[in-house]
Amino acid sequence: MLTKLDRYIIKKFLGTFIFILFLLMSISIVFDLSEKLNEFIANGAPWDQIILVYYSNFFVQYGTQFSYLINFISVIWFTSKMAGNTEIVPILSAGVSFNRFLRPYFIASAILVAATIMVYNFVLPGSNKARLEFEETYYRDPGSKRNVFMQLNDDDILHFSSYNGIKREISNFSLEHYNEEQLTYTFKARLAEGDSTNNDWHFQSVEIRHMGAFNDDYRYYAELDTTMEFGISDLVFRPNKIDAMNNKELDEFIKEQEKSGSEKIAFYRVKKHERWASPFAIFILTLIGVSVSSKKSRGGLGINIAIGLGICVLYIFAMQMTTVAAINVGFTPLWAVWLPNIIFSIIAYYLYLKAPK
């Protein structure tokens, strides 16, 4: 049963979290809008869609993604204020153990962890899909690729020399089909333009060759409109589109990428494991936050905030280091995601032992 102390701390915890969440996300939205406003206006984006479609989902995406850091800042903030107002010393002096004092913190943390996991798995895929569709229509950073080679399935191999993100054109498109390791069909085009919403293509300077036992069937088309088993978005895939996939879709996508020999398998696996590791970081950072800020210091709230931000930077740095190791060095993606949590769990336990009892 929750006591008055429990309700007081949980209310402070969640209230501060919501306040800082809206504060930081409002600042982020202002900076993002100032950067993209010209593109939105130039592409005729309606204001109702900018606010209700793009930035409402922007809020959900980044608010969830950085919930563990927002939680940490919240804990540091209101616990330091409690210590500064000499609220913690009387609680501990009245016979409440430090472990008992931590209970409402972890109840509130459990609420946030459960909510974050639910959002990651059931809300974010649909939310991100709407946000990315808006970007595709009204704002998209032009991308480019060169010398792409990919195996579409066991029998088909595709290659193109370059992709122009501004013109959305593929140069020197080449598709080869093999039957029992024997080349039986080639499809080559000087230029290829694909529809981003379906598998329709427009090709220029097309050469199609069917290999026969004695003679080849060769055909040439100056222009050709046709439908393939894949779309242009499958060939020039934007990595952030995995944010619009639920766990089942992401697992299937990773299997497809493994078959095609993609070089970004480790990156996709890291993103998958982050959906679980990030929420559980809330528990770890909560313990660190309480341990650091529960003692009244001469520097007051400012020094505790500085310490908290320093730990945030170290945590993000550790995550980036292990992610880079997974992508470039071959470090196991599962360990790459969970190792920062393990390291900071040890730090949290050490700070807990040093916390005022």
Residue 174 lies in a domain: yes
130 and 194 share a domain? no
38 and 124 share a domain? yes
127 and 217 share a domain? no
- How do residues 162-217 score in pLDDT, each as one tens digit? 887 667 788 999 999 998 888 999 999 999 988 766 788 999 999 999 988 778 88
Quickly list H helices, the chain: 4-42, 47-49, 56-65, 67-84, 88-93, 98-118, 124-138, 232-235, 247-260, 265-293, 300-324, 333-354
298 and 180 share a domain? no
126 and 165 share a domain? no
48 and 192 share a domain? no
User: Quick one: angle between helices 247-260 and 265-293, nearest 10?
Assistant: 140
158 and 291 share a domain? no
Residue 333 lies in a domain: yes
Two structure tokens written together for 343? 């390291």
Please check whether residue 59 is in contact with residue 18, taking contact to mean a CB–CB distance below 8 angstroms. no
135 and 268 share a domain? yes
Residue 165 lies in a domain: yes
Q: On the CB side of 240, how many CA atoms lie within 13 Å of its CA?
A: 14
Query: For residue 297, what pLDDT is reported?
Result: 64
CA 220, distance to chain mean position in Å, is: 44
Please measure the distance between the N-terminal and C-terminal CA atoms of the chain and give it in whole angstroms. 24
Please tell me which residue, 173 or 254, carries the higher pLDDT value.
173
Residue 252 lies in a domain: no
180 and 325 share a domain? no
SS3 355: coil
125 and 45 share a domain? yes
Residues spanned by the domain of 157: 144-235
- How do residues 275-330 score in pLDDT, each as one tens digit? 888 899 999 999 999 988 887 766 566 677 777 778 878 888 888 888 888 878 77
- How do residues 126-164 score in pLDDT, each as one tens digit? 898 888 888 877 876 555 677 888 888 778 889 999 887
Name the range with the highest mean pLDDT among 239-243, 282-286, 350-354.
282-286
Sign (positive/negative) of CA torsion 320, 322, 323, 325?
positive
User: Which residue in this structure is represented by tokens 């709230």?
Assistant: 301
Residue 242 lies in a domain: no
Two structure tokens written together for 183? 């080349």
Do the strands 200-210 and 182-194 form a parallel or antiparallel pair, or are they unpaired? antiparallel
With pLDDT > 70 as the criterion, what percentage of the chain qualifies?
93
Query: For residue 260, what pLDDT is reported?
Result: 66
Residue 258 lies in a domain: no
155 and 131 share a domain? no
315 and 287 share a domain? yes
